[in-house]
Amino acid sequence: MSRLLLGALACSLLAVGIAVPPAFASHVNVVTISGSINPASSDYIQQAIEQSENEAAAALLIELDTPGGLLASTKDIIQAILNSRVPVVVFVSPRGAWAASAGTFITLAGHVAAMAPGTSIGAASPVSISGGGGERGEGDERTDVSMEKAEKFTMAFIESIAKERDRNVEWALSSVRTAEAVAQDEALELGVIDLIADDRSDLLAKIDGMTVRTSAGEVQLDLANAEIREIEMPPLTRLFNYLASPDVAMILVMVGMLGLYMSSNSPVCCYPASRARSAWCSPQSRSRSCRSRGWG
């Protein structure tokens, strides 16, 4: 009787063993960044890295096409990539895409950095919110102290990234200092990226078997027949990402300025706002909330 039970158990385990592997087949998560680097796109990438770690994905592929973005958001992305336990592959694509400014930092930070034909990378000099980069005086030093500080910080930042990934440090520094930018062929020749790939399939085929070093140690990429899983940007995050676009943000600022102009020059328009303010922050109803908002 016991032999029959053991035999049945062995058969059950064998059946399970045959059925389980497909469910745990390797997969690659993919996110697409097409636009500026801002808090919304930063959260999107960070959440994708966390999800990939929780799912034990073979890799996370970031398909990147960006003109740049905010330094704070870029820092958060870089920190997440450098501390990722899952290999992060940054692919500047499709053809005609660029990894400018913040995109340069992100590409250099990837465990694997790749570019498609007809793409470019570089021009990572810091600029102010108005778009200016600061004038240079004698000794090629910026006359604006704040911009000088920003430049030195970003140079140290990109140097540490390039050293961590064993990429061309001198070129990385020049991309900040003199806004150096190159196309994919020169980037490969200079050691800025690891390879050039025609498309996603070509990329995964070329890096299959490559060994990279993550925060969890060395990992050999096993991407043969890996399932591709697209991670979509959540609707609310997509909305914030759209509103953070420089073009849209400028329109919103202009609308706001127009509203202030109209309210200050039109008694009829201004009356409701002034009445609402006086009613909310009147001596009888004054509260900490009013004072904390600078309304009274």
120 labelled catalytic:
no
Percentage of the chain lying above the pLDDT 90 cut: 62
For the chain, the farthest-separated pair of C-alpha atoms sits apart, in whole angstroms, at 97
> Does residue 159 fall inside a structural domain?
yes
149 labelled catalytic:
yes
Same domain as 48, residue 141: yes
Which range has highest mean pLDDT (14-23, 136-145, 175-184, 237-246)?
A: 175-184
> Does residue 3 fall inside a structural domain?
no
Averaged over 66-95, what is the pLDDT? 97
Closest CA to 58 of 232, 229, 234: 229
> Does residue 77 fall inside a structural domain?
yes
Whether the predicted pLDDT of 140 surpasses 90: no
Confidence label for 168 from pLDDT (cuts 50, 70 and 90): very high
- Across the chain, what does the average pLDDT equal? 82
Confidence at residue 16, expressed as pLDDT on a 0 to 100 scale:
43
For the domain that residue 161 is a member of, what is the CATH number?
3.90.226.10
**C-alpha–C-alpha distance, residues 90 and 48, integer Å:** 13
Answer with the one of 188, 211, 233 that is the final residue of a domain.
233
> Does residue 96 fall inside a structural domain?
yes
Containing 34, the helix (H) or strand (E) segment is: strand 27-34
Whether the predicted pLDDT of 159 surpasses 90: yes
Convert the pLDDT of each residue in 41-74 to its tens digit. Answer: 999 999 999 999 999 999 999 999 999 999 999 9
Answer with the one of 186, 202, 233 that is the final residue of a domain.
233
Specify whether the backbone of 94 is left (phi greater than 0), alpha (psi in -120 to 50) or beta.
Answer: beta
> Does residue 241 fall inside a structural domain?
no
> Does residue 2 fall inside a structural domain?
no
Whether the predicted pLDDT of 222 surpasses 90: yes
Q: Residue 141 belongs to what domain range?
A: 15-233
Confidence at residue 282, expressed as pLDDT on a 0 to 100 scale:
41
Whether the predicted pLDDT of 196 surpasses 90: yes
- Catalytic residue, chosen from 149, 264, 274, 278, is 149
Confidence at residue 296, expressed as pLDDT on a 0 to 100 scale:
34
Same domain as 278, residue 207: no
- Catalytic residue, chosen from 101, 120, 125, 175, is 101
Confidence label for 80 from pLDDT (cuts 50, 70 and 90): very high
Same domain as 228, residue 260: no
17-52 b/e (C-beta count within 10 Å ≥ 16 → b): eeeeeeeeeebbbbbbbebbbbbbbbbbbbbbbebb
Confidence at residue 145, expressed as pLDDT on a 0 to 100 scale:
74
